[in-house]
């Protein structure tokens, strides 16, 4: 399972970078979305994959029996998802405004500030 997840994460990173290197700003944002998802899945995988062992403490005990799934990674990912949702929503509005102002969706036409 870890090997499969590793491949999925790798493919996500690769396609994110590919999309970010395209000239269209819409594809740029798609790349950013893929990138944040790749990072989330990486945390999920690195925290260890275990199925069928919820992190619950049985009644009357002070600690769970045996190995359990790590709840912390899921909390981290949940936080990261919320943050990336907000930030990417901003990015979408930004490219919309930029398109209205610059009248281009081509990154190569946005070089005024680099000179």
Shortest Å distance, C-beta 76 to another protein? 6
Picking from 6, 8, 13, the residue whose alpha carbon sits closest to that of residue 35 is: 13
- Confirm or reject binding of residue 12 to another protein (CB under 8 A): no
Residue 111 CB neighbour total at 10 angstroms: 8
Segment contacting another protein (CB under 8 A): 51-59, 61-69, 99-107? 99-107
DSSP state letter for 37: H
Q: Is 106 helix (H, G, I), strand (E, B) or coil?
A: strand
- Confirm or reject binding of residue 46 to another protein (CB under 8 A): yes
Pairwise CA distance, residues 85 & 93, whole Å: 12
Tell me which residues touch another protein (CB under 8 A).
Answer: 20, 25, 28, 32, 35-36, 38-40, 42-48, 72-73, 76, 79-80, 83, 86-88, 90-91, 94-95, 97-98, 101-102, 107, 110-114
């Amino acid at each position: 399972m870890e090997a499969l997840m590793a491949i999925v994460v790798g493919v996500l990173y690769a396609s994110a970078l590919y999309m970010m290197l395209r000239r269209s700003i819409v594809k740029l944002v798609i790349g950013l979305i893929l990138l944040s998802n790749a990072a989330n899945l990486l945390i999920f995988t690195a925290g260890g994959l275990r199925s069928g062992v919820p992190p619950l403490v049985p009644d009357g005990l002070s600690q769970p029996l045996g190995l359990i799934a790590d709840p912390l990674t899921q909390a981290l990912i949940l936080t990261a998802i919320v943050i990336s949702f907000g930030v990417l929503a901003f990015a979408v509005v930004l490219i919309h405004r930029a398109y209205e102002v610059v009248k281009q969706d081509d990154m190569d036409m946005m070089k005024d500030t680099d000179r």
